[in-house]
């Protein structure tokens, strides 16, 4: 299958079956989303959604967060990954947001990256989710799924994946394609054991095609048989 046909099939499927895909982070305004995305680095959305309600209640505006100390913020986010660094990032972000952007979350990716805790991925998330800009945030799910499906070729870095996706996806679909890839990777195309048996993309997925050739299936069967024997021998040894 040609790459352009694979992209067409990908866009057509999700445009039909998941036209309203969106982030699973909970937020009420751009400022809250910026906080949530900064906190979500190397942490699950589920955990962030448990932490942010009280944090948003205590610091509802850039002014209130900018006037806080990292130690005060830490008390609200202690259960997320790297809370020490993130508490400093949040306070620093709020100060720059006030001083350089009048408290308004900017759209431009370069402007967003001026704030602590906001790397390229975070900036792309904000730009695409809030402003529907054609920016592609590449996290571990996007990286894995894009490569497995065959949307990207020899893409060894997040930036390489980002560039290929942006170059081949329709401009008006880039912002939502980010969510299509994340959600597919989170619930179906899992890292260790992809659920190919229920995946609707197998008709054009490179990974599926490569792992379901006669030789690949034979090898899979042999490995499963060996694993079964090893398990049985272990059970007997325990007895």
Relative orientation angle of helices 70-77 and 45-58, to the nearest 10 degrees: 130
Confirm whether residue 199 is marked as ligand binding: yes
- Per DSSP, 137 falls in state -
The 10 Å Cβ neighbour count of residue 53 is: 11
User: Is the CB of residue 199 less than 8 Å from the CB of residue 188?
Assistant: yes
Check residue 171 and report its DSSP letter.
G
Give the number of other Cβ atoms within 10 Å of residue 211's Cβ.
15
DSSP string of 221-239, one letter each residue:
HHHHHHHHHHHHHHHHHH-
Q: Identify the H or E element spanning 139.
A: none
Q: Does the annotation place 43 within a ligand binding site?
A: no
Q: Is 205 among the annotated ligand-binding positions? A: yes
Q: Is 121 a catalytic residue?
A: yes
Catalytic residue among 121, 156, 197, 218: 121
- The catalytically annotated residue of 139, 195, 218, 226 is 139
Q: 154 — alpha (psi -120 to 50), left (phi > 0) or beta?
A: left
Query: What φ, ψ does residue 36 adopt, rounded to 5°?
Result: -60, -40
How far apart (Å, rounded) are the C-alpha atoms in residues 96 and 118?
Answer: 12
Q: Are 118 and 125 in contact (CB under 8 A)?
A: no
Q: What is the dihedral of CA 108, 109, 115, 120, to 10 degrees?
A: 170
Take residue 132 and report the two structure tokens written for it: 């529907």
Instruction: Tell me if residue 139 is catalytic.
Output: yes
Active-site residue set = 121, 139
Annotated binding site for [4Fe-4S] cluster: 189, 196, 199, 205
Q: Residues annotated as binding site? A: 189, 196, 199, 205
């Amino acid at each position: 299958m040609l790459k352009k046909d694979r992209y067409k099939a990908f866009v057509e499927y999700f445009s039909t079956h998941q036209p309203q895909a969106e982030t699973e982070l909970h937020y009420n305004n751009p400022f809250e989303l910026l906080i949530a995305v900064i906190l979500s680095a190397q942490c699950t959305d589920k955990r962030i959604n448990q932490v942010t309600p009280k944090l948003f209640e205590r610091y509802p505006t850039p002014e209130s967060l900018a006037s806080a100390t990292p130690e005060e913020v830490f008390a609200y986010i202690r259960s997320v990954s790297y809370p020490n660094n993130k508490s400093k990032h949040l306070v620093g972000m709020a100060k720059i947001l006030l001083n350089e952007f009048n408290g308004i979350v900017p759209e431009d990716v370069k402007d967003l990256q001026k704030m602590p805790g906001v790397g390229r991925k975070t900036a792309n998330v904000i730009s695409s989710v809030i402003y529907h800009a054609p920016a592609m945030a590449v996290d571990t799910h996007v990286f894995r799924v894009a490569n497995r499906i065959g949307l990207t070729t020899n893409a060894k870095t997040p930036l390489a994946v980002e560039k290929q996706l942006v170059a081949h996806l329709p401009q008006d679909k880039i912002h939502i394609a980010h969510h299509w890839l994340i959600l597919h990777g989170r619930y179906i195309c899992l890292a260790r054991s992809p659920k190919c048996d229920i995946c609707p993309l197998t008709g054009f997925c490179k990974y599926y095609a490569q792992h379901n050739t006669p030789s690949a299936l034979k090898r899979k069967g042999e490995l499963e048989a060996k694993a079964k024997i090893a398990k049985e021998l272990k059970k007997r040894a325990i007895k």
